[in-house]
A and B are shown apart, each in its own frame.
Chain A
């Protein structure tokens, strides 16, 4: 039997859409996640859901249901203020906490769930941070090993309100959960950090103020009259190349530009 293009076209459309319609009728056609993470297959926790497989498309409701964690605890740990906590998607966290300067998103939920439920969790070389509320909750409700406590302390975002010296500290980080090599990245003060509230005047409302922005270099700060030692004190290291964009420097140090910018702006505003 000869197949003409017309027959081929009809066959393709018929088989493709027929197959889809059949699968819809059988209830097998789903274009959204199954919302069921992998389970541990061996060991003490065999059969339990693996928190490492929690995905960004999950909602807090999914996490609560799958891992039997009260929604109230998840809401506190991740500062979920929306009325319907269960409907909030995990992938919104990263954007919500972007100003913190550290990755705080789905991986943070995975870590929190693992520690909360006492489930195994491999860090595989990445540094995962938690909010202070989450750390406190874990210390209260979970039974943590000394090693986990050390990791938790060094991976809690510190949002102190006062300006410290140096204000921004960056210490080389390691993924090993050992007391000797605990990573530390502390952000202190700064109007840009949630809860910071340093009370610095808003440059937007000071017309004559020089404004620190994405195109500002360290040289600009010096030109505006900011003392070199004040800048060095704030950034916690000798002044880099004066023509370096502050934004590029912040990025190279793994810091949130908005936080650095706010603190430098405070120096400018004090002039």
Chain B
């Protein structure tokens, strides 16, 4: 018997990354409550201890689209507030450290799509998240960079928050309000339907903030590493990845679509300890 044999044996198998699920739930509830409180506050019925900020003030992407105007004129795009700039900076700090953790752990729209995905998984089983042909999927994944460039350019040109007209995140937490644009509701509806077939379709193909955060995957401080010596090639990491990244074929994952959710790691779906891990530094 070879000495390395015991390490190749699956030792444990956790279904999900429960801590992430709780963190996601926390941020989803927090944003929902703030949004409801914003509506109540406009009628003078707001809850005192809870923020009544507009969702535009709590979206880091507002900071990204305002950058050009902020640098050139010192002002922010209409409806965007200084808090958006602060959140943008915090998002960048987190992304430099560990990639798009904001997408994988905080973004309530991402969380919402994952909840819809649970229904899709029950309906389609193993076919779920594999409907789009790989060739088409590979091309479509760059579309979000086009969206990012278009939104940043058009916002700089018009000095208005044009993305609000199609923003599904704003629509999700304001569908009861007259502030929401019909375009946002349509995009939200399409995202919900698509989430029944594909996991996180908005994040994969269209989210401009996801595109912005994704760039940090190329040079983040921490890295997602697979230990080829202990890997049993079960492909559990591939199946667990909501973004369909083929972790099992890489030693270091620096895919621009990684959302740092850690579902592929040995702390979650990988059955072998210390085989797929987030690490800081050169070696484990």
> Which of B78-86, B132-140, B202-210, B244-252 is found at the contact surface with chain A?
B78-86
Q: Does A31 contact B (CB under 8 A)?
A: yes
With A9-B23, A12-B106, A32-B57 as known contacts, state yes or no: A1 contacts B93, CB within 8 Å: no
Residues in A whose Cβ lies below 8 Å from that of B51: 31
Query: Is A232 an interface position by the 8 A CB rule?
Result: no
Q: How many of chain B's residues touch chain A, expressed as a range?
A: 35 or more
**Is there a chain B Cβ closer than 8 Å to A8's Cβ?**
yes
- Does A214 count as interface, using CB distance less than 8 angstroms? no
Whether the pair B105, A8 counts as a contact (CB closer than 8 A) is: yes
Cβ of B83 and Cβ of A36 under 8 Å apart?
no
Structural contact, A38 and B90, CB atoms closer than 8 A: no
Asked if B262 and A8 sit within 8 Å, CB to CB, the answer is yes
Say how far A239's CB is from chain B's closest CB, in angstroms.
Answer: 33
> Complex formed: what's the CA distance from A9 to B104 in Å?
11
Interface digits, A9-40 against B, CB 8 Å rule (1 contact, 0 not)? 10111011001100100001111111011110
B76 touches A2 (CB 8 A): no
Interface presence of A155 (CB below 8 A): no
> Are B98 and A11 within 8 A (Cβ)?
yes
B11 to chain A, nearest CB (A): 16
- Given A15-B90, A23-B86, A31-B54, does the pair A5, B17 have CB atoms closer than 8 Å? yes
Beyond A5-B267, A28-B82, A32-B81, is A20–B280 a contact (Cβ under 8 Å)?
no
Known: A5-B17, A9-B23. 18 other contacts (CB 8 A): A1-B280, A2-B284, A5-B262, A8-B20, A8-B101, A9-B20, A11-B94, A11-B101, A12-B101, A15-B97, A28-B86, A31-B53, A31-B57, A36-B75, A37-B75, A38-B73, A41-B73, A53-B75
Residues of B within 8 A of A (CB): 17, 19-20, 22-23, 51, 53-54, 57-58, 73, 75-76, 78, 81-83, 86-87, 89-90, 93-94, 97-98, 101, 105-106, 159, 222, 260, 262, 265, 267-268, 274, 277-281, 284
